Structure 1
Amino acid sequence: MYLTIRHDTSYRYEATVHYSIQQLRLTPASGAAQSVRRWSIDAPGKLDATFDAYGNVLHTLVLNKPHSEIRVHVSGEVDTIPLVDGLLPDTAGAVPLEHFTCATRLTEADAAVRELAESVPMLGSPGGLIVLAEQIVQRVQYRPGSTEVTSTAAEALALGKGVCQDHAHLMLACCRARGLPARYVSGYIEPGDVPHGASHAWVDVWLSGVGWTSVDVTHASFASEIYCRLAAARDYEAAAPVRGRRIGGLEEKLNVSVTVSAQVPQ
């Protein structure tokens, strides 16, 4: 599949910002499941590029002059391949699998999460992962604005509402409670006719004898060629597309626009 992606982010501040720093994980990498044809990031300052501990492309933007807004424009083209039952044609990778069995603040399992995890006896199979995803979206209805980026998997389950980030964290919490390595994935999806898409989050689960299996929990399906991967880590905090801090500014108004279109290569 040939994906064309445009992602515009703007921050406007009520008062002058004297200093800001942002970490941007907004650049996909070419790999066995996708190949980047073209990609660019435009920002109001110099971008220092490196890789984070998980191998994700990381740009750092520092603005130390007074400013009242920040605009970041991302665009590019990516070729992707179909995945059979979500199986990624990648090896385990440089990060030890054991690292992805450790709970984080956002994915700590309480009694309710552990009960949900134990309700799927065949969780160590691709089909079991889909069964768990179906149970998660039944228990946590998709409701934008119902949670915060700081909300935990246990909080979303107790609330019964959330977004794709919460679905992913709950899947991670359940898998890790069962001893399965699992990682959070941020990226884009060609939305088609689904009610929620474009900027998205899903999970990879390591199945013994199978490999990394990519699951879109929100849609209770395997991820495949309509997905573009940006970053993978233990949870949202380590894979967030944009994270930052600032001095000044008071109230902030955020505008985000993401469009993803797909074409079958000729």
Structure 2
Amino acid sequence: MLLTIRHHTSYRYAAPVQYSIQQLRMTPANGSAQMVRRWHIDTTGKLDVARDAYGNTLHTLVLTKPHTEIRLIVTGQVETTLLSGGRLNDGPGGIPLEHYTCPTALTESDPGIVELAHSVPALDTPSALIALAENIEAKVNYLSGVTAVTSTASQALALGNGVCQDHAHLMLACCRARGVPARYVSGYIDPGDAEHTASHAWVDVWLDNGWVSVDVTHAAFASGHYCRLAVARDYEAAAPVRGSRVGGKEEKMSVDVSVQALAEQ
């Protein structure tokens, strides 16, 4: 599958910003699930590139002159591979697996999450992960605008509504409640006829000495129509864009994402 991706983001400010810093995790890496054919980020200034602790490509943009707008234009093509049973053939990565069993502020457990985590007998097969994803989807309806990037798994469960980020955090919380390593994945999906946005989040769960990639929102393996950008313990460390600024007053953000899939001939 060949995915053509366009991701345009703009930030406009009511007053000049004196200083801003943006950290971007918006560059996919080559791996068993995908190969990057081309990728480009165009923005207002110079991007410095590095690797973060999880091995993600991290671009940093620092603007020190007054500005009232920042634009980020990401374009590229990624060739993806169908995964058998959602299994990635990549290794565990540079982070000890125990790191992915520790709760974070966004994935802390509570009695409701513990009950949900034990709604399947065991988390030891890919089919069990899909069953848990179905149970999460049944408890938390996909509805945008009711949660924020700071919302926790327990808050989304209590609300009964959320988005893909909330579904992913709930899956992480359930896996960690049972001592199973799991990590957050940010990226893109070709949504087809679905109403969900092309920016997406899902999880990798460590089973039988390998990662199994699960889209909780669709209760399916994340394969073929998915482009992976970054992994971490939760959204906080895998967010495509994070930043801070001095000045600017009110901020108005607009985002336009499109993903088009073409089957390989």
Under TM normalisation by the shorter chain, which class is it?
Answer: over 0.9
Q: Secondary structure at the match of 2:31?
A: coil
Given that residues 15 and 248 in structure 2 are in contact (C-alpha distance below 8 angstroms), is that contact kept between their aligned partners in structure 1?
Answer: yes
Matched, 1:203 2:203: yes
Match of 2:253 in 1: 254
Match of 1:46 in 2: 46
Q: Which amino acid aligns with 2:218?
A: H
Q: Which runs of 5+ in 1 are unaligned?
A: none
CA distance, structure 1, for counterparts of residue 23 and residue 235 of structure 2: 13
Match of 1:28 in 2: 28
Matches within 5 A, 1:111-260: 111-207=111-207, 209=208, 211-260=210-259
Q: Secondary structure at the match of 1:53?
A: coil
Post-superposition offset of 1:197: 3.1
Q: TM-score by structure 2 length?
A: 0.99
Deviation >4 Å, runs of 4+? none
Match of 1:91 in 2: 91
Post-superposition offset of 1:229: 0.2
Q: Secondary structure at the match of 1:28?
A: coil
Q: Which amino acid aligns with 1:12?
A: R
Q: Which amino acid aligns with 1:72?
A: L
Q: TM-score by structure 1 length?
A: 0.98
CA distance, structure 1, for counterparts of residue 104 and residue 258 of structure 2: 31
CA distance, structure 2, for counterparts of residue 17 and residue 227 of structure 1: 36
Q: Secondary structure at the match of 2:252?
A: strand
Given that residues 119 and 135 in structure 2 are in contact (C-alpha distance below 8 angstroms), is that contact kept between their aligned partners in structure 1?
Answer: no
Q: Secondary structure at the match of 2:106?
A: helix
CA distance, structure 2, for counterparts of residue 261 and residue 108 of structure 1: 36
Post-superposition offset of 1:125: 1.2
CA distance, structure 2, for counterparts of residue 35 and residue 222 of structure 1: 19
Instruction: Calculate the aligned-residue CA RMSD, in Å.
Output: 0.8
Q: Secondary structure at the match of 1:30?
A: coil
Match of 2:70 in 1: 70
Post-superposition offset of 1:33: 1.3
Post-superposition offset of 1:118: 1.1
Q: Which amino acid aligns with 1:215?
A: V
CA distance, structure 2, for counterparts of residue 29 and residue 93 of structure 1: 13
Number of positions where the alignment pairs a residue of Structure 1 with one of Structure 2: 265
CA distance, structure 1, for counterparts of residue 186 and residue 67 of structure 2: 29
Post-superposition offset of 1:194: 1.2
Q: Which amino acid aligns with 2:40?
A: S
Percent of pairs identical after alignment? 69
CA distance, structure 1, for counterparts of residue 163 and residue 55 of structure 2: 26
Q: Secondary structure at the match of 1:98?
A: helix
CA distance, structure 2, for counterparts of residue 181 and residue 197 of structure 1: 27
Match of 1:37 in 2: 37
CA offsets, 1:214-235, max 9 Å, x none? Answer: 0000001011011000000000
Post-superposition offset of 1:193: 1.0
Q: Secondary structure at the match of 1:135?
A: helix
Q: Which amino acid aligns with 1:135?
A: N
Post-superposition offset of 1:210: 5.1
CA distance, structure 2, for counterparts of residue 251 and residue 242 of structure 1: 18
Q: Which amino acid aligns with 2:53?
A: A
